[in-house]
Structure 1
Amino acid sequence: MSDVPFGFGPPDRDPERRDQPGSGDPFGFGALFGFGGPGGAGGGSPEDLLGKMPLFAELQKLMNWSGGPVNWDLARQGAISSLATGTQPTSEAERGAVAEALRLADLWLDQVTDLPSGADRPLAWSRVEWIEQTLPAWSALIDPLAEKVVAAMTAALPQEAMAMAGPLAGIMGQMGGLMFGAQVGQALGRLAGEVVTGTEVGLPLAPAGSAVLVPQNVASFAEGLDRPADEVRLFLALREAASLRLFAHVPWLRQQLHDAVHAYARGITIDREAIERGLTDAMGSMEGGFDPSNPEAIQELLGSGLLEPEETPEQQMALRRLETLLALVEGWIDAVVAAAAGERLPGHGALAETMRRRRASGGPAEQTFATLVGLQLRPRRLRDAATVWGAMAQRYGTAERDRLWSHPDLLPTSDDLDEPMDFVARQGVDDELRALTAEAEDAGTDTDTTPPDDDSPAR
């Protein structure tokens, strides 16, 4: 999956690929309208151009979407149709096995964390069910980001270019919803073929209280591991149940993650002056100048990289915050699952290593945030976070470890994860200072406040 948000980026540098229809077009306008393809070249009025679109009537239906900056109807259809290996409905036996694994996982977790269970109902979803049931969560996460991108894109495009594009300029905003819908649909289709639980992407996507496993993907995950299927299922159930405990009983956590993504969106800007300079250069490089009635000329401008967003320092800070939060969540899950599995799950070490390699090579969580905000979640951050949680439990106990989730200001920062053991050591010093402060306050309240006798010496 692309590591550039929503496919924004410079034009393709490969001359062979750049010459293909629709290549080098970050918004997909060329591919959708057939610019540069058979029958799409040459001049003609915009009306003639629209007459050459065999799917224009269907496009009009899609463009009537008014539900937000992402066409979620198109996203859903695209996600389901892009399931390359197909989908299988869940069987009664699979639903029973998932329910049993999640029940046992909660029993084991009760012994290693004070956070109570966050799962009210166990669910076994097919890939299509995962797509359909998680769309509301994706909408809440992605819509603000897409809306900001569309606004920045529209505001940055020079009025002269919009005027020259003629009637096509009026539908560019609607095309944004189509393009986002198509891209999100493709991304969700790929994710649906890989995710094994409801929280694997780093956020709870299922309805509140729902613990989810995707049996078809669990079976794919288990292939080649040489471990019993029920052992693999229990390991993944432990991860799902642990994640739900954290999100259910740390009320600010989900919002903090969303805020970090949206803080990135608020900072999206496109350099209008750079666009104007690039537009002038592009027009000057075209033989005979820019012809707004020529669809190939429009495609060349749209695919030139002029609308690539620039990353600001504020956005970099938001990404760093998001990376740290995700690492802390994943690290905590790794630590409590390791404590719960212990000697009960013989293959825990091998399964945990498989999960680490999955993340390092770009698993569903990494793919999701790389696509959304260009975030490359570094495995080193996860290891450092897991070190913090493991050391906190070993030195101070699980209650003190989990107490850090009581307020976001108590959590390790990105700088703290650079030296995780220093952070752990400081917690003991902070505890001593709090104890001394409490003793001083108690002593102050017990001070004798009886006024002195008149004959007593002045103090």
Structure 2
Amino acid sequence: MADETPDRPEDEFQELLRNLLGGGGAGLDPEQLESLSRMGVDPAMLQQMMAQMQHAFATGSDDGIDWSAAKKQALHLANKDGLGITAGDRQDFDQAFSLATLWLSEATTISDLAAPAQAMTRGQWVEATLPVWQELAEPVADSIAGALTAAIDEQTPEEMRQLVAGAGTFMRRVGGSLFAAQLGGVIGRLSQEVVSGGDVGIPVMPDGIAAILPQNFADFARDLDVTDDQLALYLGTRELAHARLFRHARWLRLHVLTQVTEFARGIHVDTTALEDLASRFDPSSPEELRSALESGALLPQRTPAQEAALVRLENLLATIEGWVDVVTADATSRLPAAAKIAEAVRRRRAVGGPAEQAMASLVGLELRPRRLREAAAMWRAVTDAVGIEARDRLWDYPDLMPGASDIDDPQALVARLVAHERGEDPERDALDEALDALLAEAAEEAAGEAEQGGGAPDARTTDDDGPEDPRPV
């Protein structure tokens, strides 16, 4: 039989890693323990480290991020109280959604959802939204996992790098798995705060799905001093309006998520902070790394490009939620407490809860529609000037949707829309003048080329009897 003993030190180290991570046997045999000692490694410390991270290594994906850990942690927190949804809760919210649907038909021309809205548990919300959270966080997770590997590699002496090369994948999975676990914790806590599918502003729910979380309903209502039926009607109407908008403007979902992920891809880990952390990092006790992830200490200050991207995203979210605010206000005008509830919703979105703030620290992104009041005022002005149908047509195509300049100056937008409704030519601006100049210049160049080419077109191709037969006579 061929000798299977590794010939090279790095092969020997990798073999030891496989034995430890594979979980085979009760431990290492005396010969392997002696090998570890020769390498200057404490066998007890190494076994403790491997036992703690064995699951992450065994189940981690090829890119080093074990997203199943995020799901497990999120569901653990979402379901830890053991509360479900009673039949009475479901019936109450079904009735609220039915009435809200009728009211919305008077406030918007955007059609109803194909699927009925539903009362959803916290765990169901986690299951439904986790793919979107993963997509948003993945660029940051990759950056942290890769930077951790690089930082530890730089801290390793040159003569030891070949020896520990087999641990590179493992160390990447350490960082990725810790980040995934932190993300799962944030999502789990967020499931204890949100009251509806669209509560965080971005489209985290599957397309065309509207939902209320009754388990969080009581916490939201506690300090409002309004009846449960009024609150259920208002929140149900708002949730349906949000879901209807994203189902109608199918391009809008991709537009929002693309802007979020582009911002996230611009995030790079603060290598100085990470190198300092890596120099004293103990994989058997990763609390310091976990704390750094939670606090956002590894994410540097935003670049000017990121700040600009964040402003664009905030304007987009404000434009969306401003429309939802106006439509919801019109649809719920019969509710005595509608104004009080609306103000509570706006304040809640402006401040955010603890879990949303934790998400900002972890991913570096605050999902705040900071200009919500201004955007709502713009949509109110548009509604009063041209009516519901003309207002809702602005969501038919991306280039029709109001932008930041329209939030700044809603009267200019109203003037354009009123002129369009009257069939008048829109007022010309600098862009129109520049476009006309370009077209005129192109026409002059074409005329000059025609003159240089001999003037009149070839008579053979314009004969009244039709084009000339191209075959030779």
Q: What TM-score results when the alignment is normalised by the length of structure 1?
A: 0.71
Q: Distance in 2 between matches of 1:257 and 1:104?
A: 30
1:252 is matched with which residue?
251
The Cα of 1:428 is off from its aligned counterpart by: 3.5
Three-state SS of the structure 1 residue aligned to 2:336 is coil
Determine which of 326, 341, 350 is the counterpart of 2:332: 341
Q: Distance in 1 between matches of 2:401 and 2:297?
A: 40
C-alpha distance after superposition, 1:413-453 (max 9, x if no partner): 3344334444434443566686479xxxxxxxxxxxxxxxx
Pairing of 1:130-279 with structure 2 (within 5 A): 130-151=125-146, 154=149, 157=151, 159-162=153-156, 166=164, 169-270=168-269
| Counterpart code for 1:199 | G
2:45 is matched with which residue?
49
Q: Identify unmatched segments of 5+ residues in structure 1.
A: 1-43, 284-289, 438-459
User: Residues 160, 216 of structure 1: CA spacing in aligned structure 2 closer, same or farther, 3 A cutoff?
Assistant: closer
Pairing of 1:59-458 with structure 2 (within 5 A): 59-67=53-61, 70-83=65-78, 86-151=81-146, 154=149, 157=151, 159-162=153-156, 166=164, 169-270=168-269, 308-309=299-300, 311-342=302-333, 344-363=334-353, 367=357, 370-371=360-361, 373-378=363-368, 380-429=370-419, 435=425
Q: Distance in 2 between matches of 1:292 and 1:213?
A: 43
Q: Distance in 2 between matches of 1:111 and 1:147?
A: 47
The Cα of 1:334 is off from its aligned counterpart by: 0.6
Query: Does the 8 Å contact 1:87/1:127 carry over to 2?
Result: no
Q: Identify unmatched segments of 5+ residues in structure 2.
A: 1-39, 428-473
Q: Distance in 2 between matches of 1:426 and 1:57?
A: 67
Three-state SS of the structure 2 residue aligned to 1:110 is helix
Query: Does the 8 Å contact 1:45/1:293 carry over to 2?
Result: no
1:7 is matched with which residue?
none
Q: Distance in 1 between matches of 2:212 and 2:404?
A: 31
The Cα of 1:75 is off from its aligned counterpart by: 1.4
Query: Does the 8 Å contact 1:46/1:293 carry over to 2?
Result: no
The Cα of 1:412 is off from its aligned counterpart by: 2.9
Three-state SS of the structure 2 residue aligned to 1:194 is coil
The Cα of 1:198 is off from its aligned counterpart by: 1.3
* CA RMSD across the alignment: 3.7
| Counterpart code for 1:141 | L
Query: Does the 8 Å contact 1:88/1:127 carry over to 2?
Result: no
Q: Distance in 1 between matches of 2:413 and 2:283?
A: 62
Q: Distance in 2 between matches of 1:363 and 1:400?
A: 36
User: Residues 161, 212 of structure 1: CA spacing in aligned structure 2 closer, same or farther, 3 A cutoff?
Assistant: same
User: Residues 436, 226 of structure 1: CA spacing in aligned structure 2 closer, same or farther, 3 A cutoff?
Assistant: closer
Q: Distance in 2 between matches of 1:292 and 1:107?
A: 59
Q: Distance in 2 between matches of 1:132 and 1:189?
A: 11
Q: Pick 1 or 2: higher relative contact order, CA cutoff 8 A, min separation 6.
A: 1
Three-state SS of the structure 1 residue aligned to 2:117 is strand
The Cα of 1:177 is off from its aligned counterpart by: 2.2
| Counterpart code for 2:324 | I
The Cα of 1:97 is off from its aligned counterpart by: 1.4
- Percentage identity across paired residues of the two chains: 40
The Cα of 1:70 is off from its aligned counterpart by: 4.1
